[in-house]
Structure 1
Amino acid sequence: MTSTPKQKVAVIGGGGNVGASTAFALIAKGVPAEVLIVDLSEQAALGQALDISDASFTMPGTCRQASFQEAGQADVIIITAGARQKPNEPRSNLIDRNYTIIKSIMDSLQPIKSTSKILLISNPVDVLTHIAQTTSGLPRAQVIGSGTYLDSGRLRNALSDITGVSPTSIHAYMLGEHGDNQFTGWSSARIGGLPLLDHPKLKGMDLESINQRIAHKAYEIIEAKGSTYYGIGMCAAIIAEALLNNTSQVFPLTHYVEGLGCYMSWPAAIGSSGVEQSFDVKLDAAETKKLEVAVKAIKEVCAKYN
């Protein structure tokens, strides 16, 4: 490279599998940005940065290790760091530990550039996105999470296998909480402009079995190889690219939904200013009940971290 790209994307926790996969996806996709690898383990950050930089010689992006202070001045700051749930550990304990981690990261990034966008990947992503916004000082529109984007991708892949239609031509979302209370918006799903459930290959299909397959895919991967990182790494890179390039693409992301009064996973258009539009998805009665359950669960946890 004869010059360093002007735009910067910082990956916090870049020494780990998810962070490194995200950084590599940014380079491999040809995103014209300087990718900054930041981690408490400086040795891990250096190793990942050196390795990923070897993949950048034919690409417009570059990659290097950086400090937290440098990361605070990035255009997009991706948070992949966080505590993992221990065996038999209550979810409340995990959130408490992650609150401490996220707050420490936000303190280390200060002063954060006023136009930066923060993208949370760490789980539980809906609650941690709320915490990141309150501790970063940035406007709500500039702090988002990966939400159910990966889950929705898994859903589209499964529906593609059933219908024989490309996943990119299937418009269906997993909604609500990224977790136990997520649900499929079947009534709003479309394929070729028609209701998805009108497709002949979905007639009589056990929809709940599809939901269960999506919900358990991560566990299947974790059981086989220990953790998931390539799928979410690519999703994070795609979201970051949309923020940098001001594409106004719609993703099912964790963002603050004014009408529901909380951070949750819901379709939104994003661009250089963060969230540009949040969409009113039409739900049937059963789906509305599931939404209410998800919103209640998220609000109850977030109320402890205001």
Structure 2
Amino acid sequence: MDKKISIIGAGAVGASVAQVLAIKNIADISIFDIVEGVAEGKALDIQEGAPHFGFDCKLQGFCTQDPKEYANLKGSDVIVVTAGLARRPGMSRDDLLVKNIGIMKDVGEQIKKYSPDSIIVAVTNPADIMAYALQKASGISPERIIGLGGSLDSSRFRTFLAEALNVSVRDVNAFVIGGHGDDMVPFIHYSSVSGIPISDLLSEEKIQEIIKRTRFGGGEILNLYKTGTAFYAPSISISVMVESVVNDQHRVIPCAAYLTGKHAENYKVSNAFIGVPIKIGKNGVEEIYDLKFSEADAKEWMKSVESVKKNNKLADDYFASH
């Protein structure tokens, strides 16, 4: 194939992303992991399922204990970064921050060295801050870096709304913006079922219940799994973002994007990655859409902004001292 996707991190999320993208058959896939044999084994395992799904893409795995193996990033159209420490029960996304920033620094430097023209999809938690760290480490233009967040959070929100209304999830149009954390902002007045506003279909009490469940959706799964966090829904949400880049689909998806200029003025935050509706194509973030905030929305949004700004400051301090 003439397209290439690289996935850095062969844990549950990275491997699931590789499998979903292999089934989509849109590009050859390279998987990287620091643990010997893991990336190689998972690439082979997925490849052996090709006859049943009929995909012709090729998968390869590489162990990055030898940093020279990062040379196999060359020619990547998209690089998905899932490497990092996993969240454990009782640990918030922000608890992971400093250690995962260090990992992003190392990964970003390798991307800069071997594949600086790639589009980067940041997945490692908290994804908006990790996108910021990857940009600082790699020096890649911010519009070529997209953070997971709203793509997954919106999928959860739509799922819970469809469940509450007993309707097909395909008819639910809803999205979540803000940081990928406990201060995310589900946007009610932009949410509908086949054009019918959610507020006409559900009580305010039920809507708030669903918002709360959405905000802690990852934690709910974490508490059920006990030893690991979600990976099926994240991998599908990531694959949609990647496919929109590889096939230049121009999908409009809420994801973490870098805000400057008029968008920074509208969203009241500058020089930061945060979840907003964007158009995704072969060049990465091809358009950012400004939203109108109600008074209640604006209050929730600014809480999310302050959280992201605080964590960006931690990232800045880390880079200044390393």
Matches of 2:235 and 2:160 in 1, distance apart?
A: 20
- Which residue in the other structure is 1:290 paired with? 300
Distance 1:97 1:114, change over 3 A: closer
- Which residue in the other structure is 1:117 paired with? 119
- Which residue in the other structure is 1:61 paired with? 57
Amino acid in the other structure paired with 1:44:
V
Unaligned runs of 5+ in 1: none
Say whether 1:26 aligns with 2:28: no
- Which residue in the other structure is 2:213 paired with? 213
Contact 1:188 1:283 in 2 (8 A): no
Unaligned runs of 5+ in 2: 63-68, 317-322
CA shift digits 1:50-92 (9 cap, x unpaired)? 1011122311322111432212431100001112356777876
CA shift digits 1:9-45 (9 cap, x unpaired)? 001002x1111011011012x2321110111113111
Amino acid in the other structure paired with 2:276:
W
- Which residue in the other structure is 2:66 paired with? none
1:44 aligned to 31, 34, 38, which one? 38
- Which residue in the other structure is 1:128 paired with? 130
Matches of 1:130 and 1:87 in 2, distance apart?
A: 26
Contact 1:27 1:55 in 2 (8 A): no
Contact 1:38 1:45 in 2 (8 A): yes
Contact 1:115 1:273 in 2 (8 A): no
The two structures have a TM-score, normalised by structure 2, of 0.86
Matches of 2:94 and 2:180 in 1, distance apart?
A: 16
Distance 1:114 1:219, change over 3 A: closer
Shift, 1:107, TM fit: 2.1
Amino acid in the other structure paired with 2:110:
S
Shift, 1:184, TM fit: 1.1
1:230-249 to 2 correspondences below 5 Å: 230-249=232-251
SS in 2 for 1:38: strand
- Which residue in the other structure is 2:6 paired with? 10
- Which residue in the other structure is 1:264 paired with? 274
Matches of 2:74 and 2:104 in 1, distance apart?
A: 14
Contact 1:187 1:282 in 2 (8 A): no
RMSD: 2.0
The two structures have a TM-score, normalised by structure 1, of 0.91
CA shift digits 1:229-252 (9 cap, x unpaired)? 111111111111111000110111
Matches of 1:43 and 1:103 in 2, distance apart?
A: 24
For structure 1, which segment, 148-157 or 81-90, has the greater mean C-alpha deviation from structure 2 after superposition? 81-90
Distance 1:185 1:273, change over 3 A: same
Matches of 1:297 and 1:224 in 2, distance apart?
A: 27
Identity between Structure 1 and Structure 2 (%): 28
Amino acid in the other structure paired with 2:252:
V
1:185-204 to 2 correspondences below 5 Å: 185-199=187-201, 202-204=202-204
Number of aligned residue pairs: give it: 298
Matches of 1:237 and 1:180 in 2, distance apart?
A: 23
Contact 1:188 1:282 in 2 (8 A): no
SS in 1 for 2:182: coil
1:74-85 to 2 correspondences below 5 Å: 74-85=76-87
Distance 1:286 1:269, change over 3 A: same
Distance 1:117 1:100, change over 3 A: same
Matches of 2:82 and 2:185 in 1, distance apart?
A: 24
- Which residue in the other structure is 1:301 paired with? 311
Shift, 1:169, TM fit: 2.4
Amino acid in the other structure paired with 1:27:
A
Shift, 1:159, TM fit: 1.1
For structure 1, which segment, 117-126 or 61-70, has the greater mean C-alpha deviation from structure 2 after superposition? 61-70
